[in-house]
Structure 1
Amino acid sequence: MSEATASLPATAAGVKRRDGAAGDRIFYWIVLGCGLFVLVALFAAAFSMVWDGFLAFRTFGFGFLTGMEWDPVAQRFSGLVPIYGTLVTSALAMIIGVPVSLGIAVFITEVAPRSIRGPIGGAIELLAGIPSIIYGMWGLFTFAPFMSDYVQPVLIDWLGPIPVIGALFSGAPLGIGMLTSGIVLAIMIIPFVSSVMRDVFLVVPAQLKESAYALGSTKWEVVRDIVIPHTRTAVVGGIFLGLGRALGETMAVTFVLGNTHNIAVSLMEPGTSIAATLANEFAEASDDLYRSSLSALGLILFVVTFIVLAVAKLMLVRMARQRGE
């Protein structure tokens, strides 16, 4: 009787181990399925765009990437103009948005009194939650007239006569165009980039900053020599996150870009982007070649975004190795 009683704990422990092993296997297969779902979705999207865009690449060849003509009536399509518009507007958004985002993050974490850090952080999160179509409507009905009446005339008058820079600011003050689209995109990515920067600045060890202050460093020197170097890997990741958002933005750009298939040096001129072209014309694509050309544009945007994110990952890995991580 005593031996049977003594064997009960061992039996219970064995049952518990078997149950734990079975639960661990179930957990493993569940999380494995979640991880594989991402890869399956990625390859399925890529395969779909390659399959649908094959007709366009077979018809136009490499000229689809280098040509400027987009004529649905004549059945002649090429993607250089929307590719150019996508890259220019995204570059403008990063040039404007990254310094502003850095300034916001530094102000919240290092300069602002604690009483206003919460409201400013909440405002940033609120901006991040606004749908892109709202930004587009605001850009078309409010910001574009403001640019046409007050900003673009000044830029044309002051910077237009300059020999080299003037080419970027020549033309008529239409309100819509590359510059307006770039500014609207910058406003859209600022909440995302600044939120990432703010979060990583907050995890900088206080001992590092206090030591620098004790040695007589100013706030600017602490930010330049302590905060940014300590968090540069995450900062670069946040910047590329904003760039990925800018490359794929659709509705806001569609409202304010102008949607004309032409390449102009001037930032005042209207243009188009890959996402705007897809949004405007996919419902009107009435034949196979037209739809295939739009799918080919989607594939190009997919590849460009993938390259940008891959470059970001390589930069992060290289920076981590330099720091010995």
Structure 2
Amino acid sequence: MHATVSSNAPTTARAEEAARNARDTRNDRLFGGLLKACALLVLVSLIGAAASTLWLGRDAFATFGWGFLTSSEWDPSNNRYGALVPVMGTVTTALIALIFAVPVSFGIALFLTEIAPSWLRGPVSSAIELLAGIPSIIYGMWGLFIFAPFVATTIKPWLMNNFSADPPDGQVSWLVTHVPFIAKFFSSEYPFFGAGVLTAGLVLAVMIIPFISSVMREVFQTVPTRLKESAYALGSSTWEVVWDIVVPYTRTAVIGGIFLGLGRALGETMAVAFVLGNTFKFTPSILETGSSIASTIANQFGEAEGLQKSALMAIAFLLFVVTFIVLMIARLMLRRLASKEGS
């Protein structure tokens, strides 16, 4: 009797182990399928959104053809539409935002990780997180009622006096005399009107600084302390440690954070709608008013119908295209950096 029980015990144990392994395998497959579904949901949502905007904007593309991309005309009364001004306004304001936001974010991140005393790091970090949580409409109202008048009375007159071909004080600067093409970027028909492309770009810069600086701060903190201490022990200054140790170690992640901020700037709507001016006039000047894709859709979609609504959906699809191109450039840059690091 005892021999029979002892001989059945290994068989029972093997059966339980096989059942447990089968259950674990089934659970792993279920878990893997669930994760794959979550990942595919993002891809399907993106493709669906882009395809729906393309489909709803097909009338505009069919009516105007490639001229829709190159025309600066936007005339709802005559059903004439072109995407050049919104696309250029979107790209220009985002680039201006990057020009100002990246150096400031870099300085904030380095200050918090390398220089700031411990008692100051907490309040500054909390302030950055608070800025990131402010709604965009608050930035737009601040830009319209506070910052735009400051631009009109201080920044814009100074830029026109030093870089415009028709300065308010009547004296053309030495720089414009020797580099005349620069005046195209700083001319304005309304020198005392604060809204415009530059104002929108500066407001966007304030909005994306918290995102870029937060990413930079986090990646700077991943640099091994031993590397920095070794550089200091060899007599390197703080700037040399940052430039020779911190930046090369984290440059891939830093570029990723910069393009994250660029993506936020490209898609911003309410803040830009307040301070951009929303005029469809193609000009290289950053002091003039303009329009962006997001602000155009926000301002006109409620009243649009027929071909106008199709044109709005068409420029929405172009926003997908512009964002995709930016992300592809980022991927290529990161891949090139990764290949250099490998070599």
TM over 0.5: yes
Question: Deviation of residue 32 (structure 1)?
Answer: 1.0
Q: 1:313 & 1:43 partners in 2: Cα distance?
A: 19
Matches within 5 A, 1:99-248: 99-160=103-164, 161-162=172-173, 163=176, 164=180, 165-171=182-188, 172-248=191-267
The answer to whether structure 1 residue 38 and structure 2 residue 39 are counterparts is no
Q: 1:260 & 1:281 partners in 2: Cα distance?
A: 12
The aligned residue for residue 323 of structure 1 is 341
Highest CA radius of gyration, 1 or 2? 2
Q: Secondary structure at the match of 2:75?
A: coil
The aligned residue for residue 95 of structure 1 is 99
Q: 2:94 & 2:160 partners in 1: Cα distance?
A: 22
Describe the superposition over 1:68-126 as per-residue Cα deviations: whole angstroms up to 9, x where unpaired. Answer: 11000100000111111111111110110111110111111111111111111111111
The aligned residue for residue 167 of structure 2 is none
The aligned residue for residue 77 of structure 1 is 81
Q: Secondary structure at the match of 1:73?
A: helix
Structure 2 letter corresponding to 1:145: P
Question: Deviation of residue 307 (structure 1)?
Answer: 0.6
Question: Deviation of residue 153 (structure 1)?
Answer: 2.2
Matches within 5 A, 1:44-63: 44-63=48-67
The answer to whether structure 1 residue 20 and structure 2 residue 24 are counterparts is yes
Question: Deviation of residue 169 (structure 1)?
Answer: 2.7
Q: 1:46 & 1:130 partners in 2: Cα distance?
A: 28
- Contact preservation (8 Å) 1:170, 1:268: yes
Q: 2:284 & 2:60 partners in 1: Cα distance?
A: 28
- Contact preservation (8 Å) 1:174, 1:268: no
Uncovered stretches (5+) of structure 1, i.e. residues with no partner? none
Partner of residue 292 from structure 1, selected from 310, 314, 335:
310
Structure 1 letter corresponding to 2:184: A
Q: Secondary structure at the match of 1:285?
A: coil
Question: After TM superposition, which residue ranges in structure 1, 4 or more long, deviate above 6 angstroms?
Answer: none
Q: 2:163 & 2:54 partners in 1: Cα distance?
A: 44
Q: 1:88 & 1:25 partners in 2: Cα distance?
A: 48
Q: 2:92 & 2:46 partners in 1: Cα distance?
A: 26
Structure 2 letter corresponding to 1:111: I
Give the TM-score normalised by structure 2: 0.91
Aligned residue pairs: how many?
Answer: 324
- Contact preservation (8 Å) 1:82, 1:272: yes
Identity among equivalent pairs (%): 56
Question: Deviation of residue 311 (structure 1)?
Answer: 1.1
